[in-house]
Structures are given as structure tokens and as C-alpha cells.
Copies of this chain bind each other. A is one copy, B any other.
Amino acid sequence: MLTQTALQQAPYTDTRPVVAPSMRRERPPYREVVSAAKEPAGMTMSFARNTEIFAEGEPSGTIYKVVSGAVRVYKILSDGRRQISAFHLPGDMFGLEPDDQHHFSAEAIVPTKVTAYKASSLFAGGARNDGLRGELWDVAMKSLARSQEHLLLLGRKSALERVAAFLLEMVGRGEGNTALDLPMPRHDIADYLGLTLETVSRMLAELKAMAAIRLPSARHVELTDMAALRNMSA
């Protein structure tokens, strides 16, 4: 089994630019190898806010586990539209691809630490590393489940329903509490939900007006009426 330490830490709230403020897509990013492997082939790396972890088209073969921070995985269409396919929080694993290259890009949303594992070391070699191969299967199945849940959201739900479902999804990944620190800006939420950032903002305002949530600051949400949220998200 992979190490299960340092998971479930509180969502990151620091939004200060760490390097290259107001400039995105700088590359190569600030990557610092923090520790060498002690568990199988794991290597921990740090990424500054808005820096690239991997890009579409690059060779795949590395699986990442978020130690702290938050990651967005996305694709950009020809005319600049962006679809975020997933957010990854501490404990989540990502980077698995059906073939030998990445079909999506990944960026740190906030200063983020991830541990990298070679997929070949988890996958190849017959009956060897059975536990790890099981872990890889779990990653695949969880990705599939999330992807299909996401499909549902995008296909047949109104803006209000999408935002409500998003909040429930996010709070469900934390300590099971009712409070929520969003690491990502409105624009990211919008591109995850297939909406515009203005619509996301309006729906949050509407949920607030309905007293389903409190919004003490833009990134901090308290779900005050989970039943109502659950009701409207279906």
C-alpha cells in the first residue's frame, strides 16, 4: 500500500502568488524535490501557484498523489474554452492515462506538494507488487466514478443545481464538516461546471439569499442547509 500520511489536511487558503505574480503558464515551474523515496519509487515535489505539473501531449507514466494544496486537471479547446475535468485535494491520486501520453494538463491551484510514483512500478511485472497493482486499480475506478458523476452534472442540470452539487461534492471531501474553504477561484469553478464565472457568482448569491449557505468571504462557504442543497442538486 502507498503511504497514507499527510492526507486530509485542511484546504489551502493562502492565495498569495509565490513566484511570478499575475503571470500564468510560466515554465519550467518552481519544482523542488523535497524527499527521495522510502516507499516504492515515490518522490515528493513542490509546485508554486498556477504552475504546470504536466501538460497535454507529454508522455504519461507517472501517478501523482496530492500531499497538500490543490490541483486542477483540464483541457483547452481550440478557441480557448477550457474544461476542467477534475479537482484533486490532499489524498487524491491523479495522472493515470489510458495510453502513453497525457490527454489533459494539470496545474497547481495553490502552492502544492505532490508525491510522484512511476506507473510502471505499480503496474508491470506479473504478480509482483500485488498490493500496488490493487491501488492502481482503485485509482482507475475512482477516476471513472468521478468522471461519470461529473457527466451527470454537466449533462442535465441547471446552473443552480450544478453549483449546489459542486458545494456538496467539495464538502464531502473534507473532514465531513459543514464548512468549506475553496482553494480555487470562480473561474475554475465555472470551467468545472460548464458555466461562466458570473453565473457561478450569481448562483452562490442566490443560495445565500435562500439561506442554504453562508458566505463570510468569497472562498469560505458554510453549508447551513444541507437538506435543501441535496434536494436541489438532484
The residues of A with any CB-CB pair to B shorter than 8 Å are 75, 77-78, 81-83, 85, 96, 98-99, 103-104, 126-127, 130, 137, 140-145, 147-148, 150-152, 154-157, 191, 193-194, 234
Q: How far is the CA of A140 from the CA of B145 in the complex (A)?
A: 11
A82 near B156: Cβ-Cβ < 8 Å? yes
Determine the chain B residues whose CB is within 8 A of the CB of A96 once the complex forms.
Answer: 144
Determine the residue in chain B with the shortest Cβ distance to A147.
Answer: B147
Determine the chain B residues whose CB is within 8 A of the CB of A104 once the complex forms.
Answer: 148
Determine the chain B residues whose CB is within 8 A of the CB of A191 once the complex forms.
Answer: 155-156
With A85-B152, A140-B144 already in contact, 8 other A-B pairs whose C-beta atoms are closer than 8 Å: A77-B157, A83-B152, A83-B156, A85-B148, A98-B145, A137-B137, A147-B151, A155-B193
The 18 sampled A-B contact pairs (Cβ below 8 Å) are A77-B234, A78-B234, A82-B156, A83-B151, A83-B152, A85-B152, A96-B144, A98-B142, A99-B141, A127-B127, A137-B137, A137-B140, A140-B140, A144-B147, A147-B148, A151-B154, A154-B154, A154-B155
* Copies of the polypeptide in the assembly: 2
Q: How far is the CA of A81 from the CA of B233 in the complex (A)?
A: 13
Q: Which of A75, A126, A156 counts the most chain B CB atoms within 10 A?
A: A156
Closest 9 A/B residue pairs (Cβ):
A127-B127, A155-B194, A98-B141, A154-B154, A147-B147, A83-B155, A98-B145, A81-B156, A83-B156
Determine the chain B residues whose CB is within 8 A of the CB of A145 once the complex forms.
Answer: 98, 103
Q: How far is the CA of A140 from the CA of B137 in the complex (A)?
A: 9
Q: Which of A98, A99, A130 counts the most chain B CB atoms within 10 A?
A: A98
Q: Min CB distance, A224 to chain B, in Å?
A: 22
Q: How far is the CA of A19 from the CA of B15 in the complex (A)?
A: 62
Q: Min CB distance, A133 to chain B, in Å?
A: 9
Q: How far is the CA of A152 from the CA of B78 in the complex (A)?
A: 12
Q: Min CB distance, A194 to chain B, in Å?
A: 4
Determine the chain B residues whose CB is within 8 A of the CB of A194 once the complex forms.
Answer: 154-156
